[in-house]
Amino acid sequence: MSETVRRRVVVHGNVQGVFFRDTARRKAESHAVAGWITNRPDGAVEAVFEGDEDGVAALVEFCRRGPPGADVESVDETQEQPEGLSGFEVR
């Protein structure tokens, strides 16, 4: 069994109103990644991903591109201690 990792990302650019959160939720579920994603008041999208290294890496890579219609300018990525989250929530 692979080790659980956790990453927090803040995605800057034109990333709200382009189905970023719902697309991320579907990708997280398909990769068995837990966590949450939310729109921030400053126009960014913030997310936490917990799961195996490959699944979390796939979600972080998705955030660097975004769904069609998104214009990602930058992504801040932070490694955190896993909390044992289950499921994925759009907040």
Please indicate whether residue 39 is annotated as part of the active site: yes
Q: State pLDDT tens for residues 7-46.
A: 999 999 999 999 999 999 999 999 999 999 999 999 999 9
Q: pLDDT value at position 1?
A: 54
Please indicate whether residue 6 is annotated as part of the active site: no
Domain count, the chain: 1
The answer to whether the CB of 46 falls within 8 A of the CB of 9 is yes
Q: pLDDT value at position 28?
A: 98
Catalytic residue among 14, 39, 64, 65: 39
Is the pLDDT confidence value at 2 over 80? Answer: no
Q: How would you classify residue 16: left for phi > 0, otherwise alpha for psi between -120 and 50, otherwise beta?
A: beta
Is the pLDDT confidence value at 91 over 70? Answer: yes
Q: What is the CATH number of the domain that holds 16?
A: 3.30.70.100
Catalytic residue among 14, 21, 26, 64: 21
Q: Is the pTM of this model over 0.85?
A: yes
Q: Which domain holds residue 37?
A: 4-90
